[in-house]
Amino acid sequence: MTRTDTPLTLGILIFPGFPMACLTSCIEPLRAANEIAGKEAFRWTVVAETADPVASSAGVSFGPDTVLADLAEHDFLFFTAGPNARFDQPARANAALQRITRRKTRLGAFSGGVFPLARTGLVAGHPLSVHWCYEAAFEAEFPDIERLSTVICDEGSFVTISGATAVFDYMLTLIEEHLGGDIMAEVACWFQHPYVRSAATSQKTPAFSTAKSKDLLPKKVTQAIEHFAEHIEDPIQISDVADAIGVSARSLERSFKEATGQSPLKYYRMMRMNQARQLVLYSSTSVTEIAYMVGYSTPGAFLRIYRESFGVTPINDRRAKNSLRVKSGDALPAG
């Protein structure tokens, strides 16, 4: 445990459309820890690129305490954003970030904030935790950055966290380090947070068309899904997957239907379509290129199956997403 009379300082850099749950999951446990400890062990600052109020993804606006260009030295600065967030003035923002990192501020990101963090170019050579719902879009934009599926990646100068409850977990870890396990446990109980996940914990991912997460499926089904995930761009035959995991194709078919209610082929197709939809909604990749990236040699078949899967064409899906964005400058090209 690290005890000091100097408060640990955290900056939360918010962009238009940021996830409000991540902001509150950062601040609230620290506020409670200060109250329980009877001292200011933690201090936080809400930061934005400009002094204007910033609307969250829920439409609730927050006025920043300071602007990035004026930010004093902090222990941490966490980017909190959706995946399409960008600085309006990247050169000026990067100059401010380089200034504060020279003063030993650690940079980090909550959820989709990993995208604008990666766009700064400051994270080269460092692994980052990327939320499963953004992994395809992140890999397409940043193929050279190592992407981890753990809930938290705390390595070197960067801390990246996937999901609001994982943010809460990390704050509890900081509380334990600076105030001890008793106060950490009391804070967790205040909020009925049942346990603290370690940084090495893998993200929970949904099993499509079931009420389960993927880790609760039968072993052979999980192994097959892992093979499917490795062959999104270059589709593999179901019989080859069955051979690879040591079962017959008929046995795999039966196991899949019992566990998920659908055939392996249909499940595999839905995996490819969900990855395609990530790219449609969270990247600027053209629809034709997306079709190739998820294993379709012609856009026509891809467009038909996408519409069957989601009830809308990729172009209209992207347009609808753009219409809901808080800031028009975040819009993606329609095609």
Residue 200 counted as domain residue = no
Q: Is the pLDDT of residue 98 over 70?
A: yes
Q: 40 with 165, same domain? A: yes
Q: 225 with 274, same domain? A: yes
Q: 256 with 323, same domain? A: yes
pTM attached to this predicted model? 0.76
- Cα(233)–Cα(224) distance, rounded to whole angstroms? 16
Residue 1 counted as domain residue = no
What's the pLDDT at 303?
95
Residue 20 counted as domain residue = yes
Give the angle subtended at the CA of 101 by the CAs of 6 and 78, to the nearest 5°: 75
- Length of the chain counted residue by residue: 335
Residue 158 counted as domain residue = yes
Q: 180 with 105, same domain? A: yes
Question: Tens digits of per-residue pLDDT, 232-291?
Answer: 889 999 999 999 999 999 999 999 888 888 899 999 999 899 889 988 988 888 999 999
Cα 60 to Cα 130, 164, 266, distances in angstroms: 25, 17, 39
What is the number of domains present in the chain?
2
Q: 136 with 13, same domain? A: yes
3-class DSSP assignment, residue 154: strand
Residue 37 counted as domain residue = yes
What's the pLDDT at 202?
65
Q: 45 with 129, same domain? A: yes
Q: 179 with 320, same domain? A: no
Query: What is the domain extent for residue 123?
Result: 8-190
- Cα(119)–Cα(85) distance, rounded to whole angstroms? 10
Residue 199 counted as domain residue = no
Q: 157 with 303, same domain? A: no
Residue 162 counted as domain residue = yes
Cα 134 to Cα 10, 112, 113, 131, distances in angstroms: 25, 8, 11, 6
Mean pLDDT of the chain: 88
What's the pLDDT at 266?
92
What's the pLDDT at 326?
44
Q: Is the pLDDT of residue 302 over 80?
A: yes
Q: 43 with 173, same domain? A: yes
Q: Which bin fits 173, alpha (ψ -120 to 50), beta or left (φ > 0)? A: alpha
Query: Which CATH number does the domain housing residue 323 bear?
Result: 1.10.10.60
Question: Tens digits of per-residue pLDDT, 101-156?
Answer: 998 899 999 999 999 999 999 998 899 999 988 988 999 999 999 998 888 999 88
Q: 64 with 184, same domain? A: yes
Residue 175 counted as domain residue = yes
Q: 182 with 96, same domain? A: yes
Rounded average pLDDT over 54-80: 95
Q: 18 with 165, same domain? A: yes
Question: Tens digits of per-residue pLDDT, 163-210?
Answer: 899 999 999 999 999 999 999 999 999 888 877 766 667 666 655 555
Query: Which CATH number does the domain housing residue 38 bear?
Result: 3.40.50.880
User: Could you tell me what percent of the chain has a pLDDT over 90?
Assistant: 64
